[in-house]
Structure formats: C-alpha cells, structure tokens
C-alpha cells in the first residue's frame, strides 16, 4: 500500500498539535487546577481503577470530550462555561491528551492544554492520587 501524498504520520500530527499548546508539567497543572482550571481525566475506567485517580479531576471519556466541552453543544457539561474556560487534559502518558487538547482548541477553547507525561508523570512527581501521594 502506498502512502497518499497528503498523509502524515501520527508523530507528525502529534508534533503539530503540541506546537499549538503551552503544555504543563504536572506541578504546573496542579497549580492551575488550584487556581480554577478544570483538570479532565480522559483515561479509560480500567486504567483509573488500576492506577488511581487525581482527586478533583473531572472524568470525561475521550470519545465524548468535544461534545462535553463545546459551549455550543446541547451535551455540554456545566463546567463548559464558555470559550475562556481553562481545560487541562490528562491521559495516561501525555500522548492522546495532546491531541484532545488541540481538538478543544479547534472548537475555540483557546486555553486548553495538557499535562506532559500524563497521569504517570503526575503520580511519579508525588502529587495527590487516590493511590496515595507517591508513585509506587
């Protein structure tokens, strides 16, 4: 199978998405959350059950994220208060969260970003989780 001329690899797509984001280290994300940002955990239930959760994070499955945060959507969450809401997306390792945050930015949520290294980096930094305050 030959690659179409306009095809891009996932690595290229990811790099482009990250180029549009001001990504946050876990401690920065925690500070933003404390200042009112909405931390959104998009990990599947099985990962959350296995590894734990971030207290106070909003759980939104990745497959419905855009509908839940688009201020123009009938399916939006109460936290989707407008285009200026700061949404910080958290996935397991910081890959799909970059694509998700970029997708939110495309909807007009200009402050959307993600956590570098995802939940695994959050836990490794010793930040609060339902599994305790340190990775292990």
Written as one string, the DSSP assignment of 5-18 is TT---HHHHHHHHH
- Residue 135 within a domain: no
- Residue 131 within a domain: no
- Residue 130 within a domain: no
- Residue 28 within a domain: yes
- Residue 81 within a domain: yes
Residues of the domain holding 56: 10-124
Q: What CATH code is carried by the domain that includes residue 73?
A: 3.40.250.10
Q: How many domains does the chain have?
A: 1
- Inter-residue contact 129 to 53 (CB < 8 Å): yes
The pLDDT profile of the chain, 136 residues, written as one tens digit per residue, is 888 999 999 999 999 999 999 999 999 999 999 999 999 999 999 999 999 999 999 999 999 999 999 999 999 999 999 999 999 999 999 999 999 999 999 999 999 999 999 999 999 999 999 985 444 4
Task: Look at the pTM and tell me if it is higher than 0.85.
Answer: yes
pLDDT at 136: 40
- Distance of alpha carbon 89 from the chain centroid: 1
């Amino acid at each position: 199978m030959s690659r179409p001329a306009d095809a891009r690899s996932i690595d290229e797509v990811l790099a482009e998405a990250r180029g549009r984001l001001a990504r946050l280290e876990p401690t920065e994300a925690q500070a933003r959350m404390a200042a009112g940002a909405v931390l959104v955990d998009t990990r599947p239930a099985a990962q959350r059950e296995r590894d734990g959760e971030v207290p106070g994070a909003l759980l939104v499955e990745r497959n419905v994220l855009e509908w839940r945060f688009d201020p123009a959507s009938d399916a939006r969450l109460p936290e989707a208060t407008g285009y200026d809401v700061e949404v910080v997306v958290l996935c397991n390792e910081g890959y799909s969260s970059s694509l998700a945050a970029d997708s939110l930015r495309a909807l007009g949520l200009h402050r959307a970003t993600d956590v570098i290294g995802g939940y695994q980096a959050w836990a490794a930094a010793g930040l609060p989780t339902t599994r305790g305050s340190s990775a292990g």
